[in-house]
């Protein structure tokens, strides 16, 4: 289905022209508009057109517009555009930055499994005072510093199996072009003016603060450092002009800000009165020059948010807003931490409205990974090294633990003991052992070959029903971004498989021979089918682990790469398939005492554990092959 959107008002409104006849009721027109347009593009709210307007225009949509110079066709094939924050390169990545990116990657992978065209954008935010200071402290030029840290992000994303489509750096020249064009548009809308400003500035947040949000001694609650009193002659963005439009967007679009409890927070910021904010810095050199005044640079947030748009420009095209947005803007989802919600839920929509661009469909502000109750962050330095975790435990364990343990939206504290317990119990035991035991029995009793022509010929009906129900549950949770609950549902499939194995006890049926033996061989097929379904349903979260499962089930890597969610349907295993050699797909993590590992690093401890026996008091962790 498609419709026409005609751009009429350069500010905030557009008119929808619907093919419904003029005699259709307002209710049916409303339903039509909702179904066809809302949530597909960015028609965030609408109201019946004032009767004096053009006869074919049905509704006036507030707060969203298309800037593409006229009519725009809407097609169902819009891509799913998903973004992480562009991380600030004042310091290398840490587990907090990894958390958002892992979650975004799982969402992107799930959407790809559904067959959607996905554009998964991540990148680095590289301008501003903090960066210049960090570069000076490390004895490098700002761009050298940015190159190093940006590269560190890319390396980490590789280690964590992050399959992004676009990595945007705000120092890219194409980005700079787009920021300048955007600035010019906002200026042309009459939303930029020059004024003096005096206030309290947190360099950590790169933001002027309201006194009422600060702790004692004007300390920033996030960075625990006193803010500096500053006075500057700056360019301002007229945010206050968008008060009403923002209120309407928030009121009419309950899904725009997620989780829903964050909407109240945003609504109360807006209700308390929006103040214009400064979008340039006279005292900062490391930034994009203001197009109309080379003595000032554009405020780092005004610049960075535009990275979501500039990331869409194609290398072979001239970097213009028009080209960039024609790749499918608006974003379907900005996944961010709650620390930067105000920028994404208030500043960014207002900026987009001013420039006549569509608003993102959803902004999801997740919670914090904390250490001793404080947000882990680069500025506080209380971070956890994701690289270390990956080296010790592998990317699947890291991805699984944080997505399973910290429900997207909530805060969560890290504990190594809990990490080990969870990944051992879920990945090594429930899933890994189930596959390993089953393949072992298949090898011993069936020559590693499935004895049936198709899985349906072997199916265990009650188990099949349970699995089908849990697959539906997992899908619903993925769709609602409840990643922890999605993991839980998939684990339940594993539990059901283990229960079936224990109840049927195929090892003893094989001993009986005859029909019992044949029933046992069918049971093995059924269990392997359960594990195959787990591999599809958990692929967004633990892609490497799931590809190892697929390869043990006799599929090629290419076959795994081509899977879609529809393959969670019961019956996918090929009859008469010969299974690969059973090797543990997930190395169980063992806690061994340091007296056993002689103080060596945990991985090394596996190899040397038998030789070194010096007594030492503290426990250590080692990785061991699952038995």
Ligand X SMILES: Nc1ncnc2c1ncn2[C@@H]1O[C@H](COP(=O)(O)OP(=O)(O)OP(=O)(O)O)[C@@H](O)[C@H]1O
Q: Which residues bind ligand X (CB under 6 A)?
A: 85, 87-88, 90, 96-97, 99-100, 204, 336-337, 339-340, 368-369, 375-379
Least distance to ligand X from the beta carbon of 346, Å? Answer: 15
Q: Which of Zn ion, ligand X, none binds 262 (CB below 5-8 Å, type-dependent)?
A: none
* Angle (deg, nearest 10), helices 95-113 and 386-393: 60
Q: Which is nearer to ligand X, 231 or 418 (CB)?
A: 418
Q: Which of ligand X, Zn ion, none binds 202 (CB below 5-8 Å, type-dependent)?
A: Zn ion
State the Cα–Cα distance between residues 264 and 269, nearest whole angstrom: 9
Least distance to Zn ion from the beta carbon of 245, Å? Answer: 28
Q: Which of ligand X, Zn ion, none binds 220 (CB below 5-8 Å, type-dependent)?
A: Zn ion
> Among residue numbers 160 through 199, which ones bind Zn ion (CB under 5 A)?
none
Least distance to ligand X from the beta carbon of 376, Å? Answer: 4
Position 377 contacts Zn ion (CB under 5 A): no
**Closest chain position to ligand X (CB):** 96
Least distance to Zn ion from the beta carbon of 239, Å? Answer: 20
Q: Which of Zn ion, ligand X, none binds 200 (CB below 5-8 Å, type-dependent)?
A: none
Q: Which of Zn ion, ligand X, none binds 88 (CB below 5-8 Å, type-dependent)?
A: ligand X
Q: Which is nearer to ligand X, 97 or 436 (CB)?
A: 97
Q: Which of Zn ion, ligand X, none binds 49 (CB below 5-8 Å, type-dependent)?
A: none
Using the CB atoms, write b or e for 53-63: b if 16+ within 10 Å. Answer: eeeebbbbbbb
Give ∠ CA 35-40-45 in degrees, rounded to 5: 70
Structure tokens at 352: 């987009």
Structure tokens at 442: 């298949």
Q: Which of 298, 336, 377 is nearest to 90 (CA)?
A: 377
Least distance to ligand X from the beta carbon of 565, Å? Answer: 27
Structure tokens at 136: 């000076």
* Angle (deg, nearest 10), helices 483-504 and 514-537: 170
Q: Which is nearer to Zn ion, 222 or 306 (CB)?
A: 222
Q: Which of ligand X, Zn ion, none binds 97 (CB below 5-8 Å, type-dependent)?
A: ligand X
Sign of CA dihedral 159, 164, 169, 173: positive
Give, in order, the Cα–Cα distances in Å from 20 to each of 16, 34, 214, 292: 11, 13, 54, 47
Phi, psi of 226 (to 5 degrees): -65, 140
Q: Which stretch binds Zn ion (CB under 5 A): 85-93, 121-129, 221-229, 437-445?
A: 221-229
DSSP per-residue codes, 513-533: -HHHHHHHHHHHHHHHHHHHH
Residue count, binding to Zn ion (CB under 5 A)? 6
Q: Which is nearer to Zn ion, 222 or 553 (CB)?
A: 222
Bridge partners (DSSP) listed for residue 209: 200
Q: Which of Zn ion, ligand X, none binds 375 (CB below 5-8 Å, type-dependent)?
A: ligand X
Position 222 contacts Zn ion (CB under 5 A): yes
Order of strands, edge to edge, in the sheet holding 228-237? 207-209, 192-202, 228-237, 277-278
Q: Which is nearer to ligand X, 109 or 375 (CB)?
A: 375
Q: Which is nearer to ligand X, 104 or 446 (CB)?
A: 104
Is 32 in contact with 18 (CB distance < 8 Å)? yes
Q: Which of Zn ion, ligand X, none binds 340 (CB below 5-8 Å, type-dependent)?
A: ligand X
Structure tokens at 560: 């795994």
Helix (H) or strand (E) holding 297: strand 293-298
Give 3-state DSSP helix, strand, coil % of the chain, rounded to 5: 45, 20, 35
Helix (H) or strand (E) holding 163: none
SS3 367: coil
Least distance to ligand X from the beta carbon of 172, Å? Answer: 18
Q: Which of ligand X, Zn ion, none binds 414 (CB below 5-8 Å, type-dependent)?
A: none
DSSP tag of 429: I
Q: Which of Zn ion, ligand X, none binds 85 (CB below 5-8 Å, type-dependent)?
A: ligand X
Q: Which of ligand X, Zn ion, none binds 290 (CB below 5-8 Å, type-dependent)?
A: none
Q: Which is nearer to ligand X, 80 or 368 (CB)?
A: 368
Q: Which stretch binds Zn ion (CB under 5 A): 179-187, 222-230, 256-264, 347-355?
A: 222-230
Residue ranges of the alpha helices (H) in 450-513?
Answer: 461-479, 483-504, 506-512
Least distance to Zn ion from the beta carbon of 124, Å? Answer: 19
Least distance to ligand X from the beta carbon of 430, Å? Answer: 27
Sign of CA dihedral 43, 47, 53, 57: positive
Half-sphere exposure for 291 (CA within 13 Å, toward CB): 15
Q: Which is nearer to Zn ion, 208 or 393 (CB)?
A: 208
Least distance to ligand X from the beta carbon of 99, Å? Answer: 5
State the Cα–Cα distance between residues 359 and 186, nearest whole angstrom: 15
Give, in order, the Cα–Cα distances in Å from 482 to each of 104, 502, 528: 12, 31, 27
Least distance to ligand X from the beta carbon of 198, Å? Answer: 24
Q: Which is nearer to Zn ion, 378 or 399 (CB)?
A: 378
Q: Which is nearer to ligand X, 406 or 563 (CB)?
A: 406
Q: Which of ligand X, Zn ion, none binds 482 (CB below 5-8 Å, type-dependent)?
A: none
Q: Which of 125, 100, 123 is nearest to 406 (CA)?
A: 100
The residue from 223, 252, 342, 469 that contacts Zn ion (CB under 5 A) is 223
> Among residue numbers 197 through 216, which ones bind Zn ion (CB under 5 A)?
202, 204-205
Bridge partners (DSSP) listed for residue 371: 374
Least distance to ligand X from the beta carbon of 580, Å? Answer: 38
Least distance to Zn ion from the beta carbon of 243, Å? Answer: 25
Q: Which is nearer to Zn ion, 220 or 526 (CB)?
A: 220
Least distance to Zn ion from the beta carbon of 377, Å? Answer: 10
State the Cα–Cα distance between residues 538 and 15, nearest whole angstrom: 43
Structure tokens at 623: 């990785």
Q: Which is nearer to Zn ion, 118 or 202 (CB)?
A: 202
Is 572 in contact with 531 (CB distance < 8 Å)? no
- Provide the binding-site residues for Zn ion, judged by CB under 5 A: 202, 204-205, 220, 222-223
């Amino acid at each position: 289905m498609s419709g026409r959107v005609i751009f009429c008002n350069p500010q905030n409104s557009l008119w929808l022209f619907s093919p419904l006849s003029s005699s259709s009721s307002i209710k049916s027109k409303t339903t039509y508009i909702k179904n066809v347009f809302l949530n597909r593009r960015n028609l965030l709210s609408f109201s019946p057109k004032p009767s004096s307007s053009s006869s074919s225009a049905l509704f006036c949509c507030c707060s969203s517009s298309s800037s593409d110079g006229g009519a725009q066709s809407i097609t169902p094939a819009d891509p799913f555009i998903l973004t992480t924050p562009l991380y600030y390169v004042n310091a290398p990545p840490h587990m907090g930055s990894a958390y958002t990116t892992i979650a975004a990657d799982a969402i992107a992978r799930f959407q790809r499994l559904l067959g959607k065209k996905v554009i998964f954008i991540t990148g680095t935010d590289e301008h501003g005072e903090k960066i210049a200071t960090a570069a000076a402290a490390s004895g490098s030029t700002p761009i050298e510093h940015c190159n190093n840290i940006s590269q560190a992000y890319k390396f980490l994303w590789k280690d964590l199996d992050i399959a992004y489509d676009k990595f945007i750096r705000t120092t890219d020249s194409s980005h700079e072009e787009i920021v300048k064009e955007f600035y010019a548009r906002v200026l042309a809308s009459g939303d930029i003016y020059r004024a003096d400003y005096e206030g309290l500035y947190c360099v950590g947040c790169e933001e002027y603060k309201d006194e009422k949000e600060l702790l004692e001694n004007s300390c920033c609650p996030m960075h625990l450092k006193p803010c500096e009193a500053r006075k500057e002659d700056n360019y301002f963005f007229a945010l206050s002009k968008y008060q009403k439009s923002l209120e309407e967007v928030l009121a009419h679009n309950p899904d725009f800000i997620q989780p829903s409890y964050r909407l109240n927070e945003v609504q109360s910021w807006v209700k308390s009165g929006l103040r214009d904010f400064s979008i340039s810095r006279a005292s900062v050199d490391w930034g994009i020059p203001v197009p109309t005044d080379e003595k000032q640079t554009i405020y780092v947030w005004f610049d960075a948010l535009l990275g979501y748009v500039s990331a869409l420009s194609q290398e072979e095209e001239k970097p213009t807003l028009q080209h960039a947005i024609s790749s499918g803007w608006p974003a379907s989802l900005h996944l961010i931490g709650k620390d930067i919600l105000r920028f994404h839920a208030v500043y960014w929509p207002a900026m987009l409205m001013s420039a006549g661009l569509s608003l993102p469909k959803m902004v999801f502000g997740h919670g914090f990974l904390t250490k001793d109750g404080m947000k882990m962050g680069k500025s506080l330095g209380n971070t956890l090294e994701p690289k270390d975790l990956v080296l010790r435990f592998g990317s699947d364990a890291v991805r699984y633990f944080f997505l399973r343990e910290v429900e997207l939206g909530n805060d969560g504290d890290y504990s190594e003991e809990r990490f080990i317990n969870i990944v051992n119990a879920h990945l090594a035991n429930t899933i890994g052992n189930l596959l390993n035991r089953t393949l072992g029995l298949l090898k011993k009793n069936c020559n590693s070959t499935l004895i049936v022509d198709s899985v349906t010929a072997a199916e265990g009906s009650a188990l099949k029903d349970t699995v089908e129900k849990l697959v539906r549950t997992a899908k619903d949770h993925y769709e609602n971004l409840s990643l922890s609950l999605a993991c839980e549902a998939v684990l339940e499939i594993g539990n059901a498989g283990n229960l079936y194995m224990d109840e049927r006890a195929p090892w003893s049926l094989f001993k009986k021979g005859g029909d019992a033996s044949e029933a046992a061989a069918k049971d093995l097929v059924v269990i392997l089918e359960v594990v195959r379904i787990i591999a599809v349903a958990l692929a967004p979260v633990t892609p490497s682990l799931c590809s190892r499962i697929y390869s043990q089930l006799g599929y090629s890597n290419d076959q795994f790469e081509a899977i879609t969610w529809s393959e969670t349907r019961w019956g996918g295993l090929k009859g008469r398939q010969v299974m690969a050699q059973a090797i543990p797909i997930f190395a169980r993590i063992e806690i061994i005492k340091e007296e056993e590992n002689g103080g060596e690093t945990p991985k090394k401890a596996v190899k040397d554990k038998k030789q070194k026996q010096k007594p030492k008091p503290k426990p250590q962790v080692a990785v061991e092959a699952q038995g």
